[in-house]
Amino acid sequence: MTFARIIAVLMMGAAFMSCQPETAVDFDGPLADWPDYGGTKAGTRFVAANQITASNVARLDVAWVHHSGDVSDGTGDTKRTSFQATPIMIGDTLYYCTAYNRVFALDAQTGEERWVFDPELRARHGEGPYPLTCRGVAYWNDLKHRTGECAARIFTGTRDSELIALDAITGRRCSDFGENGIVALREGIGAAPPWEYYPTSPPLTIRDLVVVGALVADNLRADAPAGVVRAFDARSGKLRWAWDPVPPDWPKGKGYQAGTPNVWSILSGDEDRGLVFVPTGNAAPDGFAASRRGLDYYSSSTVALRVEDGNVAWRFQTVHNDVWDYDVASQPTLFQHPNVGNGVAAVAQPTKMGNIFLLNRETGEPLYEVEERAVPASDVPGEKLSPTQPFPTHPPPLHPQVFGPEDAWGFTPIDRGDCEDKIRSLRSEGIYTPPSTTGSIQYPSGAGGANWGSASFDPTSGVLFVNQMHGPPQVVTLVPREDYAKLDDQAVVYPNELYPQAGTPYGMKRSPLLSNFGAPCNTPPWGTLTAVDLASGNMLWRSILGSTRDAAPWPLWFDLGAPNLGGSIVTAGGVVFIAATLDKFFRGFDAKTGEEIWKYRIPYTGNSTPMSYRVSKTGKQFVVLAAGGHGWSEPGDALMAFTLQ
């Protein structure tokens, strides 16, 4: 057969294949809503809809895109924006918030706007180290007792430190909630600039309450704003209870205690048991525990609060005397599986250290052995840290625990040698190496490991999916006060950070450990997605997550993994969806094998957690992602919906 004839036959075959009808979309599967930030109040991020599967995900394409217009690159007097929202979906309406705290209601199938609420944000200007963000809103209804205006409500927290109730149908403020729909969250907190205290994560609605914590800026001062968690009546906005995270034997006083661990991340709730699950941050100051006055008791912990009064049911501390910024960033995942912990109701708590603690949901006791192991001691005068830290055995830690000169990495012997020299010059004794005045290597860094992207859980298989950062390691140096005062720039300039830690003997410097080529000094992959069988504790697979594209120039695009912020969802169709990385891609992985089976180029990095739903029996399943960058990448405002084509 001649070459020309071969080409003709191949072209005829291609034409025949292109004329074949695509496999019809299966409309027989279940419907699915997404009424809470994590799918449900349990935070499993599992999608019951199974129309999108590992075998047809290649046909997934954009159905619609919504642009809010709420985007800023930080020039002028407007703060840089980061679009981290995960929408919720109730009925046939999608609700989400923007970096300027506007709330949009969209038709879930077409993306058309139904209403928009603008709080006319006052604190949108350039102060503070963090980009403007809003991760989500919450839904609650009183339909059993009333109809009409505000029978169903959307709750949102703002950078102005306000909790706002909106009518879910019209978007108008609920006049019977607080003062014309607004509850001020600064009462009892103490003096602080707007950027130092405000909620970034969605409220939790549970048993006619709205529960909310708040971000407190890190590393600024020992008398930082209080980390109180409060519950308000969902109808009236009246304060029902407040949990001030002071030790149980702390003397009672007026107001909330400054410097207590804050709760900036996502809460979970068990309505049947009447429990709210709270992931806590560090007590202030973050990098020097000796100045905390004994406020460490609830630091870096998972705490269960009773819904009726806010009293503590139990607490489990993941880090003792945390001076590494290893606060609990991930939403507690509530689950129950017959092969895990004898089938008891449980909590899975991922951490920045790469540990996953499996706890009894009613008592907080570990389901499997947790070992207290010896860790390095501090050599900083006046500092005294815990001699041991808790390490889970089931599953074992997912992140490397040691890092020395022999672990240095480089593209060439030149940059690898540079990394070896830097590591030798610093204190590096593995995980929990304390900060020092000469410089210590912290690995994992204060970003993780796992962060606020949390985990997704398949209740059928009992598999937990966790994305993690693996580098770069961080160099942490405590700067004596007299030396800190001589430094010119006393502000945070990411990634080389400088913090005052006012009220302590030391300021703090943090910076990534990079080679003279500008690459992380640790061995790739620098980002992973891992599947863990919670029954056996075994890692089923680990896949590289991300590439150097969009962070390095072409042709230096390598599949080495990437730092990532944002999370995953897992579908009943067997696909794990995640963006999160420094490169501009939205990916789908086979939940059984870890193979990357779908990838879509998005206009901005997707530093958010996706969600999914199917509205009607004649409708398609949607997967929705907020693509809008982070402080480290180009800001945007693209809410993107995908369906099978």
Closest by CA position to 442, among listed 472, 422, 419: 472
Contacts of 417 by beta carbon, 8 Å cutoff, 6+ apart: 408, 410
Given a contact cutoff of 8 angstroms between Cβ atoms, the answer to whether 530 and 470 are in contact is no
> For residue 106, with 0-12 CB atoms within 10 Å meaning exposed, 13-18 middle and 19 or more buried, which class applies?
buried
DSSP for residue 618: T
Structure tokens at 546: 């991300």
| Beta carbons of 248 and 239 less than 8 angstroms apart | no
Residues 6+ apart with CB under 8 A from 406: none
Cα angle, residue 60 at apex, residues 58 and 66 outer, rounded to 5°: 155
Residue 390 falls in which region: left (phi positive, over 0), alpha (psi -120 to 50) or beta: beta
| Per-residue tokens: 243 | 């949990």
Q: What is the CA radius of gyration of the chain?
A: 24
Cα four-point dihedral sign 77, 226, 607, 209: negative
β-strand 182-184 against 209-212: which pairing, if any?
unpaired
What span, in angstroms and rounded, lies between the C-alpha atoms of 582 and 71? 18
Q: What span, in angstroms and rounded, lies between the C-alpha atoms of 557 and 606?
A: 19
Contact between 309 and 229 under an 8 Å Cβ cutoff? The reply is no
481 vs 505: CA distance, rounded Å: 5
- What sign has the CA pseudo-torsion 606, 612, 615, 621? positive
| Distance (Å, whole) CA 29 – CA 174 | 37
What amino acid is encoded at 440 in this protein?
Answer: S
Determine phi and psi for 9, rounding to 5 degrees: -65, -45
Rounded to 5°, angle at Cα 529 from 339 and 562:
160
| Beta-carbon contacts of residue 640 (< 8 Å; ≥ 6 apart) | 62, 64, 65, 586, 602, 624, 625, 626, 627
> Phi and psi at residue 575, in whole multiples of 5°?
-120, 135
To which H or E segment does residue 10 belong? helix 3-19
Q: Report the relative pairing of strands 527-533 and 463-469 from DSSP bridges.
A: antiparallel
Collapsing DSSP states into helix, strand and coil, what is residue 15?
helix
In the set 167, 223, 322, 325, the catalytic residue is 325
d(CA 544, CA 567): 15
CB 467 within 8 A of CB 568: yes
What are the DSSP calls for 428-457, one per residue?
--STTPPPBSS-EEESSBTTBSS-TT-EEE
Q: Distance of CA 547 to CAs 333, 407, 553, 592, Å? A: 28, 21, 12, 22
Q: Is the peptide bond before 35 cis (omega within 30 degrees of 0)?
A: no
Beta strands (DSSP E) in 513-628 are: 527-533, 539-544, 568-571, 575-578, 585-590, 596-601, 611-614, 621-627
Residue 325 designated active-site? yes
From the CB of residue 103, how many other CB atoms can be counted at a distance below 10 Å? Answer: 24
Which residues are designated catalytic? 325
